[in-house]
Structure formats: C-alpha cells, structure tokens
C-alpha cells in the first residue's frame, strides 16, 4: 500500500518541492517518479541555494563558468538550467502519457523582478527559450505586475506556474489573467491545447500569520480558530476553481481544447510542531489538483498518510470558519497581501544570497 499512489488514483498529482543535481545523478528523483508516482517538480532560489551550497556535483561546472568571467546571474542560469532540463527529460514520459496535463518542472524568474511587468515577461521568454522543453513551467509571482505578465505570457503561448498566492482574491485575479491570456492566444490563431498553467496557493504561511493575529485577540472564540484558516481557504478556492473552469464562462475555451488552471497547494510542510505533519495534505485531496511536497512531507504521507477524496468535504464548515475569522476582525484579503509582500522580500533575499554564493 502506498498512499501517494492511492491519492494519484483519486485524481491528485504530487510534485516534489525540491531539485538538486544529487537527486538527479544519484537516481532519487527517478525512483520517486517510478515508485511513488511523483509527476512534477517545483524549484525556487532557496532550493537551489541549498543544493549548490551542500552538493559537490556543482563545483566543477561552477569553476568553469567563473573562469569565463560571466555575470553572476548568467552563472546561476547556466548552472541550474541543465538540472531543469534533466528533470524535464525524466518527466517526459509522464507528460506524454497524460497528453501534456502533467509531468512539469518549474523554474522561477528572478524574484527581484516581481514588481516589473516587462522585465518579468522578458526574463520568462528568455528562460523558456533556453530550457527548450515543452514540459517547463515558468514561475511568475502573483503580484499585480506579475498578473499582467501572466496574461501576456499565456497570450504568447508560454506555460506558467503562478506563485506567491495567499488569498481567494489572488485565486480569482490569476484565473482571470489566465483566461484573458488564453483568449488573446486563440484570437491570434494559437492552439490552446499545449498551454498549461497552475496557480500555487501557499498554505502554512497563512496559518502562521492568522494564528498570531488570533493569539493577540486571545478570546476563547479566537483561540479555538487557530490552525484551520489555510485549509478552509483552500477548500473554498477549489469551489471557485470549479465555478470558473467547469462553469459556463470557460465552456467555449474548454470546447477549443483549453485546459483549466489547476490549483497547486504550496508551502505544505507544517511549520507548527503542534499540528499534524499532514495538515496540508490529507484534507486537500481532490481531482484536478496538485500538491507540491517537500521531501519530509512526502515521506510522511508515504509512511502514514490516508488517501481519500477530502477536498470537498466540510465545505460549509470552511465557509463558517472564514466568517468566524471575519467576526473576530481577521481580514483574510489583507493578510494575503501582507504575506505576498513578505514572500517577495524573502524570495529576493534568498536570490541575493544565492548570487553571493556564486560570485
């Protein structure tokens, strides 16, 4: 029995929130794909900082690249793009078997471009061309500038993973950017079938912030609400997803072969040790969704997870929970904006540390 495979049979995909040359060259990623049904990979600057700083496999290439007197960002890209390509190649059979619905690898544009629309578009198109794999997703943050960039990238036929989403407002804004981009692409004669987009909704960071706000309120009613905001938000996000992508507004696009923009659960390692290590996995299993798991969370679900279609259970309770938060004075949209601002800063700091490591 393998809960990962059981959940996959129920319609959810599991991606690995990690990538390194060690995973590639020592066969661990291949094993996860073949034995656990892992069907995608997400990466970010923090992941690559850890991989490069702790892995010996990068040093020969790093020395060669430094000897060519390249800029530090060029060194970074030329160092990690082969890893992205290798992961794409490992997942190519999944991509082919699912007819381009799964089997993707994500590569992020430089985080310091998060508020620059055109620079994000330029970087995304350059990375897309350099990697040159159909099962690549370019990661773009869900900032206002990023959302505009997403619309134009989809409109240019480039598949995108939208990251740093923290609220239902972000979910709706990004779904709109995706559908507008699809309509532009189709209007210019493009085929929507090869285009893929996922919308990454971050979870554990939401509970971390909301729990702190509830603890400041400190009433028994407020304290009883801790640890449930993120799962409630995700359950309601899935209802929005169904309304949009299985409703009348998307029907004409669907008939032309356009794909729904799947929700991807991100930041799924529980940060509070008092919470279940599968808090952001077991309650959120549903069809046409993705959960990207760090290594420890993936191993935990394999070891003691339970697979069942849980995402559409307790939706009324999720609605009531969000209403109860509002009655306590918690503004989930404002919290989402705060978390996105913080996330952009943290990713930019991680990227700066990575550039310093490579300089």
Q: With a cut of 90, say whether residue 56 has pLDDT above it.
A: no
- For 212-235, what is the mean pLDDT? 97
Please say if 139 is a catalytic residue: yes
For residue range 164-194, what is the model confidence (pLDDT) as tens digits? Answer: 999 999 999 999 999 999 999 999 999 999 9
Q: With a cut of 90, say whether residue 298 has pLDDT above it.
A: yes
Cα 155 to Cα 144: distance, rounded to the nearest angstrom = 17
Separation in Å, CA 60 to CA 70, 79, 94, 355: 15, 10, 31, 17
Q: Report residue 311's pLDDT band, with 50, 70 and 90 as the boundaries.
A: very high
How many of the other CB atoms lie within 10 Å of CB of 62? 17
- For 303-332, what is the mean pLDDT? 98
Cα 27 to Cα 273: distance, rounded to the nearest angstrom = 31
> pLDDT value at position 80?
96
> pLDDT value at position 69?
85
Query: In terms of pLDDT, which residue wins out, 230 or 54?
Result: 230
> pLDDT value at position 263?
98
Cα 266 to Cα 271: distance, rounded to the nearest angstrom = 13
- For 45-54, what is the mean pLDDT? 93
Q: Give the structural domain span for 231.
A: 3-358
Choose, from 8, 30, 64, 139, the residue flagged as catalytic.
139
In sequence order, what E strands does the chain have? Answer: 12-16, 40-41, 104-108, 136-141, 160-165, 197-202, 262-266, 289-293
For residue range 64-115, what is the model confidence (pLDDT) as tens digits? Answer: 999 998 999 999 999 999 999 999 999 999 999 999 999 999 999 999 999 9
288: left (phi over 0), alpha (psi -120 to 50) or beta: left
The DSSP symbol for 71 reads -
CATH (domain of 353): 3.20.20.70
- The phi, psi pair for 116, rounded to 5°, reads -120, 105
- For 134-145, what is the mean pLDDT? 98
Mean pLDDT of the chain: 97
Q: Structurally, how many domains does the chain consist of?
A: 1
Q: Which residues lie below 8 Å from residue 41, measured CB to CB, with a gap of 6+?
A: 15, 16, 18, 19, 29, 87, 91, 104, 105, 106
């Amino acid at each position: 029995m393998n809960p990962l495979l059981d959940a996959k049979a129920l319609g959810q995909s599991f991606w690995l929130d990690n990538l390194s040359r060690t995973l590639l060259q020592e066969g661990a990623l291949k094993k996860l794909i073949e034995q656990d049904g892992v069907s995608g990979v997400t990466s970010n600057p923090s992941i690559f900082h850890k991989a490069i700083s702790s892995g010996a496999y990068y040093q020969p290439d790093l020395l060669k690249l430094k000897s060519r007197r390249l800029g530090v960002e060029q060194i970074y890209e030329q160092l990690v793009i082969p890893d992205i390509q290798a992961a794409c190649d490992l997942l190519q059979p999944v991509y082919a078997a699912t007819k381009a619905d799964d089997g993707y690898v994500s590569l992020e544009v430089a985080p310091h471009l998060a508020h620059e629309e055109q620079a994000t578009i330029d970087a995304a198109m350059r990375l897309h061309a350099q990697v040159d794999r159909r099962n690549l997703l370019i990661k773009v943050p869900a900032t206002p500038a990023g959302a505009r960039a997403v619309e134009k990238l989809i409109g240019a036929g480039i598949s995108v993973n939208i990251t740093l989403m923290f609220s239902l407002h972000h979910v709706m804004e990004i779904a709109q950017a995706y559908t507008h981009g699809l309509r532009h692409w189709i209007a210019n004669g493009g085929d929507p079938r090869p285009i893929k987009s996922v919308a990454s909704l971050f979870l554990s960071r939401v509970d971390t912030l909301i729990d702190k706000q509830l603890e400041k309120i400190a009433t028994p009613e407020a304290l009883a609400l801790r640890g449930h905001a993120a799962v409630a938000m995700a359950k309601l996000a899935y209802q929005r997803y169904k309304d949009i992508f299985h409703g009348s507004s998307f029907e004409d696009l669907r008939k032309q072969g356009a794909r729904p923009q799947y929700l991807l659960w991100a930041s799924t390692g529980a940060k509070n040790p008092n919470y279940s290590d599968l808090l952001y996995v077991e309650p959120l299993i549903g069809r046409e969704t993705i959960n990207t798991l760090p290594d420890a969370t993936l191993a935990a679900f394999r070891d003691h997870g339970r697979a069942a279609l849980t995402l559409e259970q307790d939706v009324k309770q999720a609605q009531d929970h969000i209403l109860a938060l509002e009655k306590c004075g918690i503004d989930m949209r404002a919290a989402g904006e705060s978390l996105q601002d913080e996330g952009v800063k943290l990713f930019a700091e991680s990227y700066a540390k990575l550039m310093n490591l490579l300089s």
